[in-house]
C-alpha cells in the first residue's frame, strides 16, 4: 500500500532493467572503485588527524574516551548505571564501537576504525542520494559526484589540526565517537528517504516505517536530531508544497512520519531518564544570545589568519554557497523537484542550525556540525543541474576530457591513500598512552582503585590496565556523575588520588586527606598513595557515600 500522486517528471521515469552479465560486472567494478576512492579519502583524513595535535581529540580527550570506558565497564562486568549527557550515544555509536572493539586490540585502534567507518557511511549515504538526484546520469557520474562530496569533507579535515573541540574545526569531529556523528548520519539518511519519496511521488509504507524508525531511534539517543533534521525537513517540505513545487500528499505523510518518530523518540527517553545527567533545556539560555554571537565571531577570527584556517573557512563558505546558489538555480530553471529539495533542505538546515545555536545561547561549536555535512546534498544537486545544463546545450565534446580528469583525480587519491596507509596503520597499531603506562608501573600488577578529576583521570581510566580502576570526583571528593558508570562506585575502596598539573582543588588534597604514604611523579600528574593511612577511609566515605546517594536519586 502507498499514498501516491501522478509523477510527471522525467527524472522519475522508470529506470532501465537489469543490465546483462557484462554490464553487471562493470557496474560492480565501478562501485568497487568508488568505494576504494572513499576508503582512500577516509585513510587520508585519519592520517592527518593522527599526525597532528588533533589526535588528542580523537583518542585522549575526556569526552572522546567515553565509549572505550563503556566497553571496558561492560567487559569487567560492572553494573550498567551510566550517567550520560543528554546525548546517550546508544544509537548508533555504542553498538558500532563495540563491534570495532571486537576486531581491534586497543582503544586507539577501535576509535580509528570507527572514524574510518563513519566517513565510509557518509560516502554511502551521499551515493544513495545521488541515485535519487541523478537517476538519468551514468553510474560513473553518480559515483564520481559522491566521491567528490567525501573529498570535500576530507579537504575540510585537512585544514584542522588543533587539539580542542572548542573551535570552528568541524569536519574532523566526524571521526570521533562522541561528537554526534550518529545524528549527522541520520540527517543524511533522512534526506535520502525524503528524496526517494519526492522522486517517486508517493509515500510508500516501507519508506514511512523506516523514516519513523530512524527518527525515533535517533531522537531517543540524541535529541539534536529534531533541530538538525526533522525540523528542517518539515519546514522545507511545507514551503515547497505551499509553493506547489512538490506534491502535498507525500510531503504531508513524510512530515507526519518525522513528527511521529520524533515524538516516539522523546517518549522513549522517559524510561531512559536515569541515564541522563542533565535535561537538554539546561543548554538553552536565550538571554545569552548576544554573547554567543560574539563568541562565534571571535572563533571565526581565531580560525582566520593562517593558510589552513582561511582554507577551512573558505570551504565552509563554499558549502553554504552551493546550497544558496543551487536553490536559486534550481528554482529558476524549474528543474526536477528532487534537485530543488536537495538544495533548499541544506540551506534551511544551515540557517536553522546557525540561528538556533545563537538564539539558544549555546556557545558550543559542535552544534554547527551540519554546516559541513548538509551541503553535501547541495553539491550533488548542483552537479545534476550542471549535467542537465550541458545536455541542453548539446555540448558533448568535453565528456572525454571530463572522464580523463576524473580518472586522473581518482588515481591520485588512490595512490595517496595507498602511500599513506602503511604509515597510518603503523601509527594506529603502535599508539600508546604514555601517562597510563606510568600509572601501570606504579600499580605493579596490584588491584587498586583511585580517584581524580575529569580531564585528568578519564584517559588514564580508558588506557590503564584492568587492574587499575579510576573514579571521577569533584574537587571536594564527591562523585562527579558525568559520563561515568555509577555502578563502578559500588563497594569501591579507593586508596590513591591522581592529581593533574592543571587540576584545581577547593582545599589542598593533603589538607583534606592528610599526608600520603608516598608520592609518585608521572608526566602530567602525581599519584598520592593513601593506602594504610586515615585518608583512605575519608576517600571511601566521601566518594562511595556520595555515589550511593546519587544512584538512589537516579533510580538505579
Domain extent listing, the chain:
2-51+84-423, 434-554
Residue 368's pLDDT is: 98
**How many residues comprise the chain?**
556
The pTM of the full predicted model, rounded to 2 decimals, is: 0.94
9 contact partners, CB below 8 Å, separation of at least 6? 199, 336, 337
Residues 283, 285, 290, 295: what is their CA dihedral angle, to the nearest 10 degrees? Answer: -20
State the cell numbers at 166.
572548542
Question: CA separation (Å) from 377 to 297, 322, 362?
Answer: 27, 9, 26
State the cell numbers at 373.
555535512
pLDDT (tens, 9 = 90+) of the chain, 556 residues, equals 444 444 434 444 445 555 578 888 999 999 999 999 999 999 999 999 999 999 999 999 999 999 999 999 999 999 999 999 999 999 999 999 999 999 999 999 999 999 999 999 999 999 999 999 999 999 999 999 999 999 999 999 999 999 999 999 999 999 999 999 999 999 999 999 999 999 999 999 999 999 999 999 999 999 999 999 999 999 999 999 999 999 999 999 999 999 999 999 999 999 999 999 888 888 899 999 999 999 999 999 999 989 999 999 999 999 999 999 999 999 999 889 999 999 999 999 999 999 999 999 999 999 999 999 999 999 999 999 999 988 777 655 567 777 888 889 999 999 999 999 999 999 999 999 999 999 999 999 999 999 999 999 999 999 999 999 999 999 999 999 999 999 999 999 999 999 999 999 989 999 999 999 999 999 999 999 999 999 999 999 999 999 999 999 988 8
CA terminus-to-terminus distance, the chain: 44
- The Cα–Cα gap between 250 and 6 comes to 11
Residues 24, 25, 29, 30: what is their CA dihedral angle, to the nearest 10 degrees? Answer: -30
Is 398 exposed, middle or buried (CB count within 10 Å of its CB: 0-12, 13-18, 19+)? exposed
Residue 9's pLDDT is: 42
The answer to whether 209 touches 82, Cβ cutoff 8 Å, is: no
User: Which residue, among 168, 165, 148, 154, has the nearest Cα to 118 in the 3D structure?
Assistant: 154
Q: How many beta carbons lie within 10 A of that of residue 299, not counting itself?
A: 17
Residue 176's pLDDT is: 98
- Write the DSSP assignment of 336-379 as a string of letters: -HHHHHHHHHHHHHHHHHHHHHHHTT---GGGGTHHHHTHHHHH
Phi, psi of 318 (to 5 degrees): -60, -40
Q: What is the DSSP letter of 11?
A: G
Residue 17's pLDDT is: 53
Residue 16's pLDDT is: 53
Tell me how many degrees the CA angle 169-171-177 measures, rounded to the nearest 5: 105
Amino acid at each position: 500500500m502507498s499514498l501516491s500522486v501522478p509523477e510527471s517528471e522525467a527524472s522519475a521515469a522508470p529506470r532501465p532493467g537489469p543490465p546483462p552479465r557484462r554490464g553487471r560486472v562493470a557496474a560492480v567494478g565501478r562501485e568497487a572503485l568508488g568505494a576504494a576512492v572513499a576508503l582512500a579519502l577516509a585513510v587520508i583524513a585519519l592520517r592527518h588527524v593522527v599526525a597532528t595535535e588533533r589526535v588528542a581529540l580523537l583518542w585522549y580527550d575526556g569526552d572522546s574516551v567515553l565509549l572505550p570506558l563503556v566497553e571496558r565497564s561492560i567487559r569487567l562486568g560492572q553494573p550498567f548505571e551510566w550517567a550520560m549527557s543528554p546525548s546517550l550515544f546508544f544509537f548508533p555509536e555504542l553498538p558500532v564501537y563495540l563491534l570495532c572493539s571486537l576486531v581491534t586490540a586497543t582503544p586507539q585502534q577501535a576509535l580509528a576504525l570507527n572514524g574510518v567507518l563513519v566517513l565510509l557511511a557518509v560516502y554511502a549515504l551521499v551515493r544513495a542520494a545521488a541515485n535519487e538526484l541523478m537517476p538519468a546520469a551514468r553510474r560513473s557520474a553518480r559515483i564520481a559526484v559522491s566521491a567528490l562530496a567525501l573529498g570535500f569533507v576530507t579537504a575540510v579535515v585537512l585544514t584542522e589540526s588543533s587539539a580542542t573541540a572548542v573551535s570552528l574545526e568541524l569536519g574532523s569531529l566526524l571521526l570521533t565517537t562522541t561528537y554526534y556523528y550518529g545524528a549527522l548520519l541520520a540527517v543524511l539518511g533522512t534526506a535520502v528517504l525524503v528524496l526517494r519519496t519526492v522522486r517517486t511521488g508517493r509515500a510508500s509504507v516501507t519508506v514511512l516505517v523506516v523514516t519513523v524508525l530512524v527518527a525515533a531511534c535517533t531522537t531517543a539517543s540524541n535529541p539534536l536530531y529534531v533541530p538538525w533534521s526533522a525540523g528542517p525537513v518539515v519546514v522545507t517540505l511545507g514551503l515547497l508544497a505551499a509553493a506547489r513545487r512538490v506534491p502535498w500528499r507525500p510531503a504531508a505523510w513524510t512530515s507526519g512520519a518525522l513528527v511521529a518518530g520524533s515524538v516516539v523518540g522523546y517518549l522513549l527517553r522517559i524510561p531512559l531518564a536515569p541515564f541522563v545527567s542533565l535535561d537538554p533545556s539546561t543548554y538553552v539560555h536565550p538571554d545569552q544570545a548576544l554573547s554567543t554571537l560574539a563568541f562565534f565571531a571571535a572563533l571565526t577570527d581565531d580560525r582566520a589568519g593562517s593558510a589552513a584556517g582561511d582554507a577551512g573557512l573558505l570551504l565552509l563558505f563554499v558549502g553554504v554557497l552551493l546550497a544558496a546558489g543551487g536553490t536559486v538555480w534550481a528554482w529558476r530553471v524549474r528543474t526536477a523537484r528532487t534537485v530543488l529539495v536537495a538544495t533548499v533542505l541544506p540551506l534551511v538546515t544551515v540557517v536553522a542550525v546557525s540561528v538556533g545555536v545563537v538564539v539558544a545561547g549555546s556557545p558550543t561549536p559542535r552544534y554547527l556540525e551540519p554546516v559541513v555535512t548538509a551541503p553535501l546534498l547541495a553539491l550533488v544537486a548542483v552537479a545534476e543541474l550542471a549535467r542537465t545544463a550541458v545536455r541542453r546545450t548539446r555540448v558533448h565534446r568535453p565528456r572525454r576530457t571530463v572522464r580523463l580528469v576524473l580518472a586522473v583525480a581518482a588515481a591520485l587519491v588512490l595512490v595517496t591513500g595507498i602511500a599513506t596507509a602503511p604509515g597510518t596503520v603503523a601509527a594506529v597499531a603502535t599508539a600508546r598512552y604514555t601517562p597510563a603506562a606510568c600509572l601501570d608501573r606504579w600499580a605493579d600488577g596490584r588491584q587498586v582503585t583511585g580517584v581524580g578529576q575529569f580531564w585528568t583521570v578519564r584517559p588514564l581510566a580508558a588506557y590503564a590496565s584492568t587492574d587499575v580502576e579510576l573514579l571521577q570526583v569533584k574537587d571536594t571528593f564527591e562523585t562527579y556523575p558525568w559520563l561515568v558508570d555509577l555502578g563502578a562506585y559500588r563497594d569501591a575502596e579507593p586508596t590513591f588520588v591522581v592529581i593533574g598539573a592543571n587540576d584545581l582543588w577547593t582545599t589542598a588534597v593533603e589538607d583534606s586527606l592528610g599526608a600520603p604514604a608516598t608520592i609518585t611523579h608521572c608526566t602530567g600528574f602525581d599519584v598520592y598513595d593513601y593506602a594504610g593511612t586515615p585518608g583512605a577511609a575519608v576517600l571511601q566515605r566521601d566518594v562511595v557515600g556520595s555515589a550511593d546517594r546519587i544512584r538512589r536519586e537516579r533510580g538505579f
